[in-house]
A and B are shown apart, each in its own frame.
Chain A
């Protein structure tokens, strides 16, 4: 099913974090094992000025961190560890409101986390050229149901039951950056009740 609806341009493509030498200050943000991506960025880009670089991260939900997820304290100005993703995301708007033009964000974590951060950045007036993201962690999807306008979180299969209306939705690669969600639609729209077997695709 998903093979037939791939090749969609809106599907995000992620790379490893790249330091922007035009930046005046840097904010590195991660969740879970995404800390590894931040460590790689800091260790690999010696031109990042520690005094203008801050880190916000949470490792909530990760039992053992990858061994190279280590940020030396002399590589940045301030490191803040949060108890949960929500605690980090609740703090972020105020942090951005106190920031100046020339800031670049470097975000690393699960796909859902990346877009939650990106949307906070956008609400703070940042343009997509001012943030940079790397996917390390779960590829589980947020899926938007156009039938009942509900978004289901953490979908790992091609077909799932919408948490709002209970319809079986197939999710496609059409991605809304604004919602941070993929588009789902009724899998049995043409022949009601004809629901293919689901496959796990997004761990």
Chain B
């Protein structure tokens, strides 16, 4: 966990792998190796488009044995706040970006007898390092990957070519949908399931696993939300006696950072819990996956990476 970017990196390859997904490889500008990472790790990429700075989490998709290069795959979100748009339109071979150290919120459970992966769309990204590691360790694995159409299935062809017996592709445009009841049925004892994709897909898979008697300890999922724009509001900092305005397009965390207030973070997507901050006053619109329902109802804490004030102000205990 770090609030500072560790390195400056230079793009050495940039490929449009699907109409919406761009695949980047980069190396450190100082020529040194990156930190080793475990399968499922993400990094925070920092970009500055001239008017706004963005910090977005992306799963690493390259081999965890190549320390000289990191790879990410970025899905274009044209309704988002501009980070992915910037990566698509402005970041090319030779561009420089900031990068933080890798962090893993979605690790492989190594003692599992079998690894069952369920991916939807760009949710394939963490599984790229999973499959790389499972191939090297000769682990028993199976991937079920749903894509809108073949053209939009990032890495679909290479995965299918390399692992024809383990990769199952569901192309929704052809009317082929993944049936989680069938996928989760008759899996051998000791299997762990990992789910990454759109919110509804993850929720459905988790619910069906629970109904089919899978213990929570054998079910893993990851989804990052991006901060959504909202109404501007004022945040009062009780301890330092300051007032900061949070603009419509920036998150509370970004507004604090822009005012030089360091809040620890890792995922910036409401999942990891690092940026949890105490709230003294003001109504909160919670959007994270981290806080329990009871914590959300208490109104005493907020995940500033993606949650905002419901009204026009919040008072934080910082």
Query: Interface of A with B (CB < 8 Å)?
Result: 20, 22-24, 96-97, 99-104, 124-127, 129-130
Contacts and interface: CB of A to CB of B under 8 A. Distances in A.
B213 A101 contact: yes
Interface string B41-79: 000000000000000000000000000000000000000
A100 B186 contact: yes
Contacts of A20: 213
Interface stretch (B10-18, B187-195, B256-264): B187-195
A97 B188 CA distance: 7
A125 B112 contact: yes
Given A96-B189, A124-B190, A126-B189, A104 B213 contact: yes
Q: How many interface residues does chain B have, given as a range?
A: 20 to 34
B218 interface: yes
B215 A129 contact: yes
B217 A101 contact: no
Interface of B: 111-113, 184-191, 210-218
A101 B112 contact: no
List 5 A-B pairs, minimum CB-CB distance, nearest first. A125-B190, A102-B213, A127-B217, A125-B113, A24-B213
A124 B189 CA distance: 7
Contact of B210 (A22, A127, A130): A22
A101 B212 contact: yes
A125 B214 contact: no
A100 B210 contact: no
24 contacts: A20-B213, A22-B210, A22-B213, A24-B212, A99-B188, A100-B185, A100-B186, A100-B187, A100-B189, A101-B184, A101-B188, A101-B189, A101-B214, A102-B213, A103-B189, A124-B189, A125-B113, A125-B190, A126-B189, A126-B190, A127-B215, A127-B217, A127-B218, A129-B217
Contacts of A97: 188-189
B194 to A, nearest CB: 14
A130 B215 contact: yes
A104 to B, nearest CB: 7
Contacts of B113: 124-125
A152 to B, nearest CB: 29
Contact of B213 (A23, A96, A124, A125): A23
A129 B213 CA distance: 11
